């Protein structure tokens, strides 16, 4: 995540006008942190993003799930309700941000990345013509990982009962590394095997990619190919 944000921040700097005046916040941060101002901004952004994530995907879903606890007395059902709310919030969030033009363009680059990877995995020459024919949906996508994290958390948290809301929030935050680790192994499984089970597991995340990937143009494919060549 940190490397990704550094890369995005580095890329965005090329689009800033040199003559653009610094605002008060920029001047304040540079005065306090000097040459570490960009790192400070990134750290603050990460902290705010984590707070927002906990609020959206932990606090709100478990609070809504708690509303059902007075007449639903099955722990598995309560965790399932919470998980479904979390998935609905994720889909709604993706749909909302996809309406932004800059995000749409980012999703087009996301689609270009998948096409380039498919081309490479098919042992074809990395050209725009070869990459263009592939789909934008890929089983090892980060979108798949997000959905698998959601599904894994539903199953895992079902074993912990339904304590009070503070205990639930603490438990869900503390279990993030475990959920992420299990989800990562599942993603590795999807990359290693191509059978009915792997296709079933990958299917929901692949459908979500209809939101997070868009058909790229040739220039975006060129960028994706150059980036992939730099990596390999």
Least Cα distance to 98 among 205, 211, 8, 210 occurs for 211
Q: What helix, strand, coil percent values describe the chain, rounded to 5? A: 80, 0, 20
Q: If you search the block for the tokens 């990459």, which residue do you land on? A: 131
Please tell me the predicted confidence (pLDDT) of residue 19. Answer: 47
Domain boundary assignment for the chain: 2-97+137-212
pLDDT 10s digits, 83-119: 999 999 999 999 999 999 989 999 999 999 999 999 9
Query: According to DSSP H, which parts of 98-232 are helical?
Result: 101-121, 128-132, 142-157, 165-174, 176-192, 196-212, 218-231
Please give the average per-residue pLDDT across 166-184, as a whole number: 93
Please tell me the predicted confidence (pLDDT) of residue 162. Answer: 87
Report the distance separating Cα 75 and Cα 39, nearest Å. Answer: 43
Please give the average per-residue pLDDT across 72-83, as a whole number: 91
What pTM does this model have?
0.81
Q: If you search the block for the tokens 């750290």, which residue do you land on? A: 43
Please tell me the predicted confidence (pLDDT) of residue 16. Answer: 54
| Degrees to nearest 5, angle at CA 223 with 221 and 111 | 45
How sure is the predictor about 4, in pLDDT bands with cuts at 50, 70 and 90? low
Please give the average per-residue pLDDT across 2-8, as a whole number: 65
Please tell me the predicted confidence (pLDDT) of residue 160. Answer: 85
pLDDT 10s digits, 177-223: 999 999 999 999 988 888 999 999 999 999 999 999 999 999 999 99
Phi, psi of 225 (to 5 degrees): -65, -45
pLDDT 10s digits, 8-63: 666 666 665 544 555 566 667 667 776 676 677 777 778 888 899 889 999 999 99
């Amino acid at each position: 995540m940190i490397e990704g944000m550094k890369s995005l921040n580095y890329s965005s700097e090329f689009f800033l006008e040199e003559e653009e005046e610094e605002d008060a916040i920029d001047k304040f941060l540079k005065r306090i942190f000097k040459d570490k101002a960009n790192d400070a901004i990134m750290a603050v952004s990460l902290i705010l993003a984590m707070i927002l994530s906990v609020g959206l995907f932990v606090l709100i879903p478990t609070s809504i799930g708690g509303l059902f606890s007075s007449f639903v007395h099955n722990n598995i059902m309560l965790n399932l309700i919470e998980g479904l709310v979390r998935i609905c919030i994720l889909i709604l969030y993706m749909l909302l941000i996809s309406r932004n033009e800059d995000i749409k363009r980012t999703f087009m680059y996301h689609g270009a990345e998948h096409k380039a990877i498919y081309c490479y995995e098919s042992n074809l020459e990395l050209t725009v013509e070869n990459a263009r024919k592939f789909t934008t949906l890929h089983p090892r996508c980060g979108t798949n990982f997000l959905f698998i994290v959601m599904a894994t958390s539903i199953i895992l948290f079902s074993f912990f009962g339904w304590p009070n809301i503070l205990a639930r929030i603490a438990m869900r935050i503390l279990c993030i590394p475990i959920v992420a680790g299990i989800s990562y192994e599942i993603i590795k499984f999807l990359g290693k095997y191509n059978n009915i089970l792997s296709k079933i597991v990958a299917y929901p995340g692949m459908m979500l990619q209809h939101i997070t990937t868009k058909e790229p143009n040739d220039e975006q494919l060129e960028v994706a190919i150059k980036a992939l060549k730099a990596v390999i």
